[in-house]
Amino acid sequence: MTNFLLYDDHVLIETLTAQHRLDSPDDVEAYENYFNELRAAAVTGQQLEQLLQGVASTLRAAAAIEDPAGGP
């Protein structure tokens, strides 16, 4: 599992066991571009609410099939 923190002049990449700092302007730009792609792909607002409601409904239906009596 990794994540990154984007700052104005550097990027910190965190892994399970280490942290790496990238100071190159080219690296910072690459991560800015990547972040913008992630943001553009993100589901937000009413679309996110509908997605989560659909997932919850599917999970409730699956639970009902596994335990038709609805017991604990």
Predicted TM-score (pTM) of this structure? 0.69
Domain ranges of the chain: 3-66
For residue 19 the two structure tokens come to 């942290």
Q: pLDDT of 37-65, one tens digit each?
A: 999 999 999 999 999 999 999 999 998 88
Dist. CA 24–CA 53, nearest whole Å: 43
For 10-28, write each residue's pLDDT tens digit.
999 999 999 999 999 999 9
Is residue 36 over pLDDT 60?
yes
Give CA–CA dist 5/68, Å, rounded: 46
